[in-house]
Homo-oligomer: A and B are copies of this chain.
Amino acid sequence: MDKLIPNITPAKPTPNYHHGNLREALLAASVDLIGQQGIQALSLRKLAQLVGVSHTSCYHHFKDKDALLAAVAEQGFGQISKGLRQIMDNADTQLMDKLKQAVSGYVSFATQNPTQYELMFGRDLWQGENHSQFQRVAKDSFRQYVYLFEQFQQEGILAASENPLRLAQLMWSTLHGLAKLASDGIFAKQGDLDDIIEYALKRVEGLINISPT
């Protein structure tokens, strides 16, 4: 779906004074530029030149540079949410398989879009001003994990004594940690990743079958 080498073509021959679709173009160029050169390398001016437009025109579509970054991050969460929903809505898949697919899908996104993933969890977007729209989309993607564990419980696979929310929080923390550390190559070598995931899933399976206190 994503091109391996996104094409950053320096301006296209748009004879129109009004670009017509500048907002989307800016977002797309941002994803490309960030993916290739890192978050730091993204400047409004470079971006505008890439799209073939004056750099101040950005301010008609985004309040801030921060707002643009928030939109890029939001798009990332949207992508994850979409993928999760497709997995969840497949009636032919067993619950445990859904979990496995959800996990590997999440980690895949992080490792394939490491800089965007970094942006999505940057402290600025969560702590600073209220990028409320962005945060809403992000939290929606999380609720699907809670929903998954609730289904586990409804089908009696997971003991009623367990707390689905806590379980989802714990599992998602692990997932985020794995994704982050793997995508940045911090500790686990890229190859070890699958091993660790398998290792983690075994634990969850044990938890589900044994269902301890």
Residues on A close to B: CB < 8 A? 38-40, 114-115, 118, 121-124, 126-128, 138-139, 142, 163, 166-167, 169-170, 172-178, 180-181, 184-188, 192, 195-196, 199-200, 202-203, 206-207, 210, 212-213
Known: A142-B187, A186-B126, A187-B139. A173 touches B166 (CB 8 A): no
- CB A102 to nearest CB in B, in angstroms, measures 16
Given contacts A118-B123, A172-B187, A177-B180, could you give 13 more A-B pairs where the C-beta distance is less than 8 Å? Answer: A40-B124, A115-B123, A118-B122, A139-B187, A142-B187, A169-B196, A173-B196, A174-B174, A175-B177, A176-B180, A202-B213, A203-B207, A206-B210
Pairwise interchain contact B173-A177, C-beta atoms closer than 8 A: yes
Out of B40, B163, B170, which one reaches A200, CB within 8 Å?
B170
Chain B residues near A139: list those with CB within 8 A: 187
Main secondary structure of the interface of A (DSSP, over half): helix
